[in-house]
């Protein structure tokens, strides 16, 4: 699995103006890397087989289908014969969506550091999710049985350790 987080799709970068074909290059690389690390650490312990089911049950299908990069990743991940490539594709989808949710929900102050990215994330989620529900934040950071304080602390923006006490959404 590629350890670097590459969220940009060169083919999509050439297309401008439409939300459905825009890439995710506006996502802060540090946030994407931290989101990816959180997702991978969870699934290394619990298995990757449940990742597509988590996204399906969370109702993220319309968002994935509406975004060309996510739709292409889903197609490749779903049809790959390599479990490593398949898992990497599903992780990349979840990484993009979790990063959008973190920016749009004002989690840990990411929106204050990257206000333009936060506005873009809010617009994308509002257009495709329709409500304020943040299913991947709820799943990975606020599980029903116990909150994951270590996971929450892992998503504090770099250089902002003083914000660890402010995790309100």
Q: How far apart are CA 93 and CA 105, in angstroms?
A: 18
Looking at per-residue pLDDT, the higher value among 51 and 17 belongs to: 51
Q: Does the pLDDT at position 12 exceed 70?
A: no
For the question of whether the overall pTM of this predicted structure is more than 0.85, the answer is no
Looking at per-residue pLDDT, the higher value among 95 and 3 belongs to: 95
Decide: 150 and 33 in contact? Cβ < 8 Å. no
pLDDT of residue 161: 55
Residue carrying the six token digits 């934040």: 137
Q: Does the pLDDT at position 167 exceed 80?
A: no
Q: How far apart are CA 95 and CA 93, in angstroms?
A: 5
Task: Count the Cβ atoms, other than its own, within 10 Å of residue 59.
Answer: 13
pLDDT single digits (tens) 80-124: 999 999 999 999 999 999 999 999 998 888 999 999 999 999 999
């Amino acid at each position: 699995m590629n350890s670097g987080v590459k969220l940009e799709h060169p083919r999509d970068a050439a297309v401008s103006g439409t939300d459905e074909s825009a890439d995710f290059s506006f996502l802060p690389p540090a946030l994407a890397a931290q989101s990816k690390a959180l997702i991978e650490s969870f699934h290394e312990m619990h298995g990757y087989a449940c990742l597509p089911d988590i996204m399906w049950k969370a109702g993220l299908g319309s968002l994935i289908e509406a975004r060309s990069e996510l739709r292409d990743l889903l197609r490749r991940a779903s049809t790959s014969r390599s479990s490593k490539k398949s898992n990497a594709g599903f992780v990349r989808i979840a990484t993009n969506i979790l990063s959008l949710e973190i920016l749009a929900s004002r989690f840990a102050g990411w929106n204050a550091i990257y206000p333009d990215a936060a506005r873009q994330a809010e617009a994308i989620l509002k257009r495709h999710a329709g409500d304020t529900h943040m299913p991947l934040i709820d799943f990975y950071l606020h599980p029903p049985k116990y909150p994951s304080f270590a996971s929450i602390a892992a998503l504090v923006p770099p250089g902002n350790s003083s914000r660890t006490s402010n995790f309100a959404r």
